[in-house]
Amino acid sequence: MRVNGPEVVAELSTVYPRYGEAQVGNDADTLVSTAVSEALATIAADNSC
């Protein structure tokens, strides 16, 4: 797993601000959808090895 790969940095640069705004704004739907989306992406990446 490449932690600092360009694709990882690009994805986190997109997701992190949205997640932070959802935390501050108490937007549970965005928090859940972001967490579920990231969990599914992690599972898919782990299974592709």
Amino acid letter, 33: S
Q: Cβ(27)–Cβ(21) under 8 Å? A: yes
Q: What pLDDT does 25 receive?
A: 95
As a whole number of angstroms, the distance between CA 14 and CA 45 comes to 18
Q: Where are the domains of the chain?
A: 6-47
Q: What pLDDT does 26 receive?
A: 93
Amino acid letter, 23: Q
Q: What pLDDT does 9 receive?
A: 83
> pLDDT tens, position by position, for the chain (49 residues)?
666 788 878 888 888 888 889 899 999 988 888 777 766 666 666 766 5
